[in-house]
Amino acid sequence: MRPSSDSGEGFGALLRRHRSASGLTQEELAERSMLSIRAIANMEAGRTTRPYRRSVRRLADALELLGPDRELLEREARAGLSGQLGRLVSAAADLNGDASASIRPGSRYPASVPRQLPPTVLNLAGRKRELSLLTGMLTPRRRGNSTVRTVAIVGAAGVGKTTLAVHWGHQVAHQFPDGQLYVNLRGFDESGDPMAPSEALGGFLTALARHPGAIPATIEARVGLYRSLLASRTMLIVLDDARSPEQLRPLLPASSSSMVVVTSRAQLAGLVAANGAYPLHLDALRDTEAYELLRNRLGEDRLACEPRAARELVELSARLPLALATVAARAAASPALSLAGLAAELRLAGRRLDALETGDPATSMRTVYLASYQQLSSPAARMFRLLSVHPGPHLGLTAAASLAAVSAAQCRALLRELAYLHLVSEQPPGRFGFGDGDLLRAYAAERADEEDADTDVRTAFERLLEHYLLAAHAAAAELLRPEHAHALFPPQSGVIREEIANCGRALAWFEAECQVIDALAARTSGTVDDAQSRELQAALAVFLRRRARRADRCPAD
């Protein structure tokens, strides 16, 4: 969409709008018009008050402007300094006139470019792929002349969503000449009170140089004014810690000249489906990236003195940036504390989250987990707590349903609710586990200790054990003598039997569950469940022998 022919906004702003509408960067326009990038930047910023007529013609040709659009650009260029002075005088009259004049709907504070992004870390560890992907979205996609203008960075608590968004925003700030807007929407704040869209709009309108008295009272009017103001601007808008698509939609500009970056621990599928947002899923750091974060905070020399402990800290922190930063902060604050000693604290299952306490709610793993946990329905919260008794790394739908004594349909809905807030992850497909490993498991176990009776947790584990025992026996019998496959005993109430109808299904089930079976057998060995432990080991042995024979028949090339 081209700017209207009655713009009256000045040559620089008009040029910038035409360039944005054409989907061109300053570099691309410079190449097309055979002008320098500096010349175009000076024109758009208003530093060149009287551009050469031939330069204006080149720009109009490069932008393919015809008719009224071309005439308006040339007219604004000829107006030059006199037009700018007239606009400044008008703005000064608004500011220095009587009170009623200063709050007219069009009145402004002194012109300024908002730069609201919070400070960024100097050395961001990793995230090169994500940064490159975000920067690539600034270039228009020529298929259908479409451009991604809303990106939703989603992921688990503590994974570094805000850090990524803010760091990238500072990197590309020069590509948004009209400034950057930022708001913390408090979607998962410890207070549990998210910011209303109307409040966020009020802050944005003030930043866009609107007098407080000129900001409308209703949210509908605020949305209209906000979108009208952004229609002539090229801005970056960072909407941090969003709760839901409903909270975000009033804050989305209508024009494509600005870009919106959202962060949330919710999946925001509705924003993707209805508003065309691009979902950027943020996972934990890779091992090398996590080590880089520690090195940036503690220095290479300290890590080199205890390389094994440093690698263990990476693993025990689940490669989460927030947990790693907390570990590094503790180590930096206590030079006498060895990295091995810190790792020993984290190894204690009952004290893992204690070792990650900083005394600051904003950086406490318990606090950030609590903000997600509080959003769950009561059945989903119970499922989250009971999942802590599963040895991991992941489980299937029928095992989770047996654990919680719910139907498969109910279980699927509960797991979907947990996955929406990234409290569990579905990986591989059809199997669910704690996304950040033992840190979330430790938190779930703490909640279970506080909220569930010991007998309830024990009964849930017995159901889980029985589910695996029945399935393992059925799968082993299918491999040994399919015609005699049967369960040892009928399942107790709440336990769902795994359907293992043939040899192929039995092999697939063992492949998916062998780590779990081994962990359950180890946990129950030498306890009152020792007989079940032996049966699990015997069933697993059947599968391992079968797999070994297959490997012997099919040697590697």
pLDDT band at 143 (very low <50, low <70, confident <90, very high): very low
Q: Summarize pLDDT for 249-293 with one digit per residue, the tens.
A: 999 999 888 999 999 999 999 999 999 999 999 999 999 999 999
Per the model's pLDDT, the better-predicted residue between 465 and 79 turns out to be 465
How far is residue 42's CA from residue 48's CA, in Å, rounded to a whole number? Answer: 6
Mean pLDDT value of segment 320-330: 93
Question: Tell me, what's the pLDDT at 348?
Answer: 80
Q: Summarize pLDDT for 210-248 with one digit per residue, the tens.
A: 777 788 999 999 999 999 999 889 999 999 999 999 999
User: Which region among 57-61, 141-145, 227-231, 537-541 has the lowest average model confidence (pLDDT)?
Assistant: 141-145
This prediction has a pTM of 0.76
Residue % of the chain over a pLDDT of 90: 52
How far is residue 309's CA from residue 307's CA, in Å, rounded to a whole number? Answer: 6
Q: How many C-beta atoms lie closer than 10 Å to residue 72's C-beta?
A: 22
pLDDT higher than threshold 90 for residue 64 = no
Question: Tell me, what's the pLDDT at 488?
Answer: 57
Among 197, 258, 259, 257, CA closest to 222: 197
CB 49 within 8 A of CB 86: no
Q: Distances from the Cα of 149 to the Cαs of 53, 240, 253, 548, in angstroms?
A: 34, 16, 10, 53
Q: Which two tokens stand for residue 66?
A: 């015809």
Among 527, 383, 539, CA closest to 460: 383
Mean pLDDT value of segment 181-206: 92
pLDDT higher than threshold 90 for residue 38 = no
Per the model's pLDDT, the better-predicted residue between 473 and 8 turns out to be 473
List, in order, residues 6 or more apart from 155 with CB less than 8 Å away. 161, 265, 281, 282, 283, 422
Q: Which two tokens stand for residue 526?
A: 């030498």
How far is residue 405's CA from residue 269's CA, in Å, rounded to a whole number? Answer: 29
Mean pLDDT over the full length of the chain = 85
pLDDT higher than threshold 80 for residue 105 = no
